[in-house]
Structure 1
């Protein structure tokens, strides 16, 4: 099972096309693993893809669960990437109003909920063991997420400046 994760890691940084291919190739297998898993949270996610999954706290991680979590995190990355053009629109909106403090404040308030929900990072960590703590990293191609990253950077800067004022 871990070999499927190593497939991803040898091609880093990962491109969206590679992730999509890996997800399709492993979908049936992951669905089977979910049906066999002792961890019921994955069944909930399979039934309702919008369900938020909390990080695993099992002291001894099952190999199947590690693969399922990897699949889950990459699936979320693809779902977010599908909104890349939308984030481009938001970034362009901001650039047009950046010099207007009132409009910028309104833009910030309007998109605050969205910004708090994405929490995107180009480095995905998968916990392999709780004690001693050990993770596996998957690195994404930043260029394919540039609008999401720029939106987050703008938002973080605005939030930081609001705290300072």
Structure 2
């Protein structure tokens, strides 16, 4: 991976959404070029269908270009979620209005269960650089900009936990 690009991300942490958007736009052509050159077929499959779930790489020897692609992918995913912040805020408001009504809460949760299963978010993105010895690079996001995502994820986690206990 281009060390300059990795350093660029590292020196601006925690990253803000606008910084991520700018970085993604500036590196989109490079990203697409690297996918076309990559030995890892999963990235070209994802490029064709962005709904495809990508599993973390477990290659013992990580290619630098694949690391860059994975960083781009992770940050793109963050921005896709960030663009739904207002929608998440509406869901939180709905939840707060019905939180004391177990039947309405159950219906709300069932209606949003698919979103709950897809909403895996963390303000710290960890990218594996080497398997042995295990080495990662961390990308820290500005937590304040993702507060609705975090709150909604916490609500879903609590409801799932309570559903298991009350079952």
Q: Which residue of 2 aligns with 1:77?
A: 78
Distance 1:59 1:76 in 2: 25
Distance 1:113 1:7 in 2: 35
Residues 97-137 of structure 1 show CA distances to partners (whole Å, capped at 9, x for unaligned) of 01111111111111111111121111111110111111111
SS in 1 for 2:136: strand
**Displacement of 1:3 after TM fit?**
2.6
Please list every run of 5 or more consecutive structure 1 residues that lacks an aligned counterpart in the other structure. none
Residues 56-99 of structure 1 show CA distances to partners (whole Å, capped at 9, x for unaligned) of 11100000000000000100111111111110000000000011
C-alpha contact 1:2 1:63 (8 A) present in aligned 2: no
Q: Which residue of 2 aligns with 1:65?
A: 66
Q: Which residue of 1 aligns with 2:103?
A: 102
SS in 1 for 2:127: strand
**Displacement of 1:30 after TM fit?**
1.2
Residues 14-66 of structure 1 show CA distances to partners (whole Å, capped at 9, x for unaligned) of 00000000001111111111111111111112222222211111100000000
**Displacement of 1:164 after TM fit?**
2.1
SS in 1 for 2:50: coil
TM-score, normalised relative to structure 2: 0.95
Q: Which residue of 1 aligns with 2:148?
A: 147
Distance 1:52 1:143 in 2: 27
Matches within 5 A, 1:4-153: 4-153=5-154
